[in-house]
Amino acid sequence: MTALTDEQLERYSRHLILRGVGVRGQKRLLASSVLIIGAGGLGSPAALYLAAAGVGRIGVVDGDVVDPSNLQRQIIHATADVGRPKAESAAASIRALNPDVEVETHDGPVDAGDIADLIARYDLVIDATDNFAAKFLINDACVLAGKPFVHAGVVGFAGQVMTVVPGEGPCYRCVFRDMPAAGEVPTCREAGVLGAVVGVIGSLEATEALKLIIGVGEPLVARMLTVDALTMNVRRVPLPTRVPDCPVCGETPTITTLDPDRYIQPACAI
């Protein structure tokens, strides 16, 4: 990669003097690509911080339009964006923040038929969905492709984050074996969610992604970080490093293809 421009030297100056990042780490960021699935509460801070950090190419996937009820937590969108496709609105905010970033939009939900081709074009994936079908689909597609991804979930005042690097630790399905039945677990639409908590968890997703790209620190592989904002209790929960009977990454996997019927469930955007 060519030398950083004068504008980049100024824009990323706090990275350049940061031990563990420096010029080499910044060049890695500028050469990297991240796919963010979901441009809602989690995807908003994740996209903005990845863009601010100088991730060279960001893909944004979302099939919804901006609704007034989103604005309490989905900070990448503004009141003037109500009715606008979320992927388009998010892309505009990213471009306004950092012209270094190339933004690609995918206006529609991911499904079993297109996710493999989509994730193949990026270095890693951010799961910013609030839909168990999407979460299991993202996990299975990434594991089958050997693609790292960062998972997060939020409801009420609590959230969780974990990083999956296939072959180096457990996957989402190792921890949450089967998809809950519809209605078994309340969604944010049913239980509510504190907007600032979603911002914290989405920012942690961005932090994990940046660490993976730069190659610094200890990612949350084989660990899950849980945050209870009511008590400010933050725990790093150890996970099994290997689950031999996992149906997608175990010794004798039973999930070897992405069957569309496996991932049918009503969607809910954070």
229-256 residue pLDDT tens:
999 999 999 999 889 999 999 999 999 9
Amino acid 209: pLDDT: 98
Per-residue pLDDT at 268: 44
List pLDDT tens digits, range 172-216.
Answer: 999 998 888 777 776 777 779 999 999 999 999 999 999 999 999
- Give the single-character DSSP code of 105: E
Question: Is residue 130 very low, low, confident or very high in pLDDT (cuts 50, 70, 90)?
Answer: confident
Distance from C-alpha of 38 to C-alpha of 86, rounded to nearest angstrom: 9
Confidence at 267, pLDDT banded by 50, 70, 90: very low
What is the structure's pLDDT at 180? 80
269 has a pLDDT exceeding 70? no
pLDDT of residue 263: 87
Please tell me the predicted confidence (pLDDT) of residue 190.
Answer: 76
Taking the CA atoms of the chain, what radius of gyration do you get in angstroms? 18
Catalytic residues: 188
DSSP 154-210: EEBTEEEEEEE-TTTS--HHHHS-SPPPTTSS--HHHH-B-HHHHHHHHHHHHHHHH
Tens digits of per-residue pLDDT, 37-84?
Answer: 999 999 999 999 999 999 999 999 999 999 999 999 999 999 999 999
Q: What are the structural domain ranges in the chain?
A: 32-263
Does residue 100 register a pLDDT over 60? yes
Q: Return the CATH superfamily for domain 32-263.
A: NAD(P)-binding Rossmann-like Domain (3.40.50.720)
Share of the chain above pLDDT 70, in %: 96
Task: Answer for the pair 234, 166: CB distance below 8 angstroms, yes or no.
Answer: no
The model's confidence at residue 270, banded by pLDDT at 50, 70 and 90, is: low
Among 98, 121, 124, 107, residue whose Cα is nearest residue 205: 124
**CA 228 to the chain's CA centroid:** 20
